[in-house]
């Protein structure tokens, strides 16, 4: 197809990296581990943001903004939190540069050293709970349901575009509640909200569950998650929602007057999804020809390519196309008429296939004579000839059908790649030869979990919330187990 894209079957990882760059989603920057999100990639992210933001607001959340910097001492206040986040962060130590005395450029001014170092936020629990202390006095101030869209920094040694970058964009929700039960309900509600967004907008099926203790967020009592399966058989955690108990309220001394006049610590949750979702989107649907985008997130839903010789033919085609473009836009459909004279139709076909535009119309001389368009759908690459007066309803049908079809395809792939195993040997064989999720019995100990991870690189992705009770024995130790948990190698 002239795209020079590595095939998935040859090297999945290389295919992914090439695709992200060639489809103009993102690229590496001059700053180690930090990416540039290009306009086409950012337009997809904006649609994700808009969808999520609407869902957050419909469930009573408000947006706010908290500082980028966190005083070093704040991080230490919650013991397990600092263990989880202190290791990989960007530290601001000075607030001024000056000209080097030898004229060699600019240097850090040693006199401008901060009394206390500032950490570039890896997540904002500490600075936010320091603020909530001032906002919460009484049960009347609760619940406090706040979300923030922000950039965060975690100093990762090995980075990959979208999947793992030193700086990434995300949203982080931080809520405060009167009771333990209400906070748990909130954390669960957000898990379901994330699942709904990822399945309905991104067309990516997910499994909802809770994390084991070793995979929990640093500072959480319980971590809820949604897990997706990529085409290479590896899992990807698409979102997490944490019940934090009273840990942060205690660390930052946030108490409230209860309905019966007592002073109690507040109950908390936090939750987030990030630009990592872009990686999940690319890896779930795309093929050897390029991106496949769900219509709900595609920046361009329909592209129209004219096939013509000379300005007169183009003008005649434009007279047909212009009203169609207008009508589609009135219906809220994002459409591009690519009448650039600098590129051939074949080049354009390739480009829009690479960029995952869901529906492509072409119109040439024969179409003009017959009153038709050639209509191609990106997911199956099928083409058909459609009479002009039926083209709008065809497009509306296709946009819905592609959204459903790629979800269905991903769901079938996942269903085919969830394997129940009853022995550790079988477990290893499935991981090695088939990949995907593996459902197996586990004795519930950290020791066994660690051993499995060390020996197979597979981790417990979650204990699915809809796991059926099933008496069994741990595949490694033979100890009793009451339900299967979900293993996989993961991103």
Which one of 29-37, 234-242, 327-335, 398-406 is the stretch in contact with its own copies (CB under 8 A)? 29-37
Nearer CB in complex with its own copies: 76/365: 76
State in angstroms the smallest separation of the CB of 245 from its own copies. Answer: 23
CA 478 from chain centre, in angstroms, equals: 37
Among 456, 411, 414, CA closest to 436? 414
Q: What is the C-alpha to C-alpha distance for residues 89 and 71, in angstroms, rounded to an integer?
A: 12
Residues 178-237 that bind its own copies (CB under 8 A): none
Asked if 105 is part of the footprint of its own copies (rule: CB under 8 A), the reply reads yes
Among 413, 294, 404, CA closest to 357? 294
Q: What is the C-alpha to C-alpha distance for residues 72 and 90, in angstroms, rounded to an integer?
A: 11
Q: With left for phi above 0 and alpha for psi between -120 and 50, is residue 322 left, alpha or beta?
A: alpha
Nearer CB in complex with its own copies: 69/491: 69
Asked if 74 is part of the footprint of its own copies (rule: CB under 8 A), the reply reads yes
Asked if 342 is part of the footprint of its own copies (rule: CB under 8 A), the reply reads yes
Task: Give me 117's structure tokens.
Answer: 């170092």
Task: Give me 140's structure tokens.
Answer: 């009347």
Nearer CB in complex with its own copies: 271/427: 271
CA 8 from chain centre, in angstroms, equals: 21
By CB under 8 A, name the one of 7, 140, 344, 366 that touches its own copies. 140
State in angstroms the smallest separation of the CB of 88 from its own copies. Answer: 7
Q: What is the C-alpha to C-alpha distance for residues 185 and 109, in angstroms, rounded to an integer?
A: 50
Asked if 29 is part of the footprint of its own copies (rule: CB under 8 A), the reply reads yes
State in angstroms the smallest separation of the CB of 168 from its own copies. Answer: 10
Among 137, 450, 141, 438, CA closest to 263? 137
By CB under 8 A, name the one of 101, 106, 260, 454 that touches its own copies. 106
Distances (CA, A) of 195 to 205, 207, 225, 351: 8, 8, 9, 31
Q: What is the C-alpha to C-alpha distance for residues 395 and 184, in angstroms, rounded to an integer?
A: 43
State in angstroms the smallest separation of the CB of 459 from its own copies. Answer: 24
Nearer CB in complex with its own copies: 250/409: 250
State in angstroms the smallest separation of the CB of 106 from its own copies. Answer: 5
Q: What is the C-alpha to C-alpha distance for residues 360 and 379, in angstroms, rounded to an integer?
A: 11
By CB under 8 A, name the one of 19, 23, 35, 485 that touches its own copies. 35
Sign of CA dihedral 342, 346, 351, 357: positive
State in angstroms the smallest separation of the CB of 347 from its own copies. Answer: 12
| Phi and psi, residue 214, nearest 5° | -70, -20
By CB under 8 A, name the one of 13, 63, 393, 429 that touches its own copies. 63
State in angstroms the smallest separation of the CB of 321 from its own copies. Answer: 20
Q: 10 Å Cβ neighbour count for 459?
A: 21
By CB under 8 A, name the one of 96, 331, 383, 457 that touches its own copies. 96
Among 296, 268, 311, CA closest to 81? 268
Distances (CA, A) of 328 to 325, 335, 391, 436: 5, 7, 10, 40
State in angstroms the smallest separation of the CB of 165 from its own copies. Answer: 9
Asked if 337 is part of the footprint of its own copies (rule: CB under 8 A), the reply reads no
Distances (CA, A) of 130 to 77, 239, 251: 10, 25, 9
Asked if 347 is part of the footprint of its own copies (rule: CB under 8 A), the reply reads no
Which one of 75-83, 241-249, 366-374, 393-401 is the stretch in contact with its own copies (CB under 8 A)? 75-83
Asked if 17 is part of the footprint of its own copies (rule: CB under 8 A), the reply reads no
Q: What is the C-alpha to C-alpha distance for residues 7 and 238, in angstroms, rounded to an integer?
A: 25
Nearer CB in complex with its own copies: 70/395: 70
State in angstroms the smallest separation of the CB of 150 from its own copies. Answer: 8
Asked if 120 is part of the footprint of its own copies (rule: CB under 8 A), the reply reads yes
Asked if 158 is part of the footprint of its own copies (rule: CB under 8 A), the reply reads no
What letter does residue 25 receive in the DSSP assignment? S
Which one of 89-97, 188-196, 410-418, 440-448 is the stretch in contact with its own copies (CB under 8 A)? 89-97
CB 391 within 8 A of CB 324: yes
By CB under 8 A, name the one of 17, 55, 90, 164 that touches its own copies. 90
* 77: enclosing H helix or E strand: none
State in angstroms the smallest separation of the CB of 489 from its own copies. Answer: 27
Residues forming contacts to its own copies in the complex (CB under 8 A) are 27, 29-31, 34-39, 42-43, 45-46, 62-76, 82, 86-99, 105-106, 108, 117-120, 127, 130-131, 134, 140, 146, 150-151, 153, 155, 167, 169, 342
């Amino acid at each position: 197809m002239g795209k020079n894209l590595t095939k998935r079957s040859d090297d999945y990882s290389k295919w992914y990296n090439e695709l992200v760059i060639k489809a103009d989603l993102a690229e590496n920057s001059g700053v180690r581990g930090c990416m540039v999100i290009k306009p086409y990639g950012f337009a997809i992210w904006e649609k994700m943001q808009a969808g999520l933001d609407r869902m957050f607001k419909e469930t009573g959340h408000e947006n706010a903004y908290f500082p980028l910097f966190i005083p070093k001492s704040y991080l230490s206040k919650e013991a397990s939190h600092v263990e989880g986040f202190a290791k990989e962060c960007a530290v601001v130590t000075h607030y001024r540069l000056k000209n080097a005395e030898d004229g060699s450029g600019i240097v850090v001014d040693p006199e401008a050293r901060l009394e206390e170092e500032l950490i570039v936020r890896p997540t904002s629990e500490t600075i936010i709970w320091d603020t909530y202390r001032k906002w919460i006095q009484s049960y009347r101030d609760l619940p406090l349901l706040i979300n923030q869209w922000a950039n965060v920094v975690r100093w990762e040694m090995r980075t990959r575009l979208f999947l793992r970058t030193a700086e990434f964009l995300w949203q982080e929700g931080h809520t405060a509640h009167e009771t333990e039960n209400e906070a748990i309900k909130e954390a669960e509600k957000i898990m379901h909200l994330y699942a709904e967004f990822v399945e309905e907008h991104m067309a990516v099926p997910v499994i909802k569950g809770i994390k084991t203790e070793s995979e929990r967020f640093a500072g959480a009592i319980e971590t809820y998650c949604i897990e997706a399966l990529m085409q290479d058989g590896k899992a990807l955690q698409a979102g997490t929602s944490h019940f934090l108990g009273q840990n942060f309220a205690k660390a930052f001394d946030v108490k409230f007057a209860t309905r019966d006049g007592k002073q109690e610590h507040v109950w908390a949750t936090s939750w987030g999804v990030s630009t990592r979702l872009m990686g999940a989107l690319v890896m779930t649907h795309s093929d050897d020809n390029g991106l496949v985008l769900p219509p709900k997130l595609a920046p361009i839903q329909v592209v129209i390519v004219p096939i013509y010789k000379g300005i007169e033919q183009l003008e005649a085609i434009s007279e047909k196309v212009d009203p169609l473009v207008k009508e589609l836009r009135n219906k809220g459909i994002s459409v591009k008429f690519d009448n650039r004279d600098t590129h051939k139709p074949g080049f354009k076909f390739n480009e829009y296939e690479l960029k995952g535009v869901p529906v492509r119309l072409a119109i040439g001389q024969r179409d003009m004579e017959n009153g038709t368009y050639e209509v191609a759908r990106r997911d199956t690459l099928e083409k058909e000839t459609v009479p002009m007066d039926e083209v709008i309803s065809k497009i509306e049908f296709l946009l819905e059908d592609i959204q459903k079809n790629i979800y269905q395809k991903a769901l079938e792939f996942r269903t085919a790649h969830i394997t129940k195993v009853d022995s550790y040997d079988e477990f290893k064989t499935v991981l090695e030869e088939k990949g995907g999720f593996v459902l197996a019995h586990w004795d519930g100990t950290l020791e066994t979990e660690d051993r499995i991870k060390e020996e197979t690189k597979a981790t417990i992705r979650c204990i699915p919330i809809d796991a059926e009770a099933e008496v069994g024995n741990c595949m490694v130790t033979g100890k009793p187990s009451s339900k299967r948990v979900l293993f996989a190698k993961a991103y």
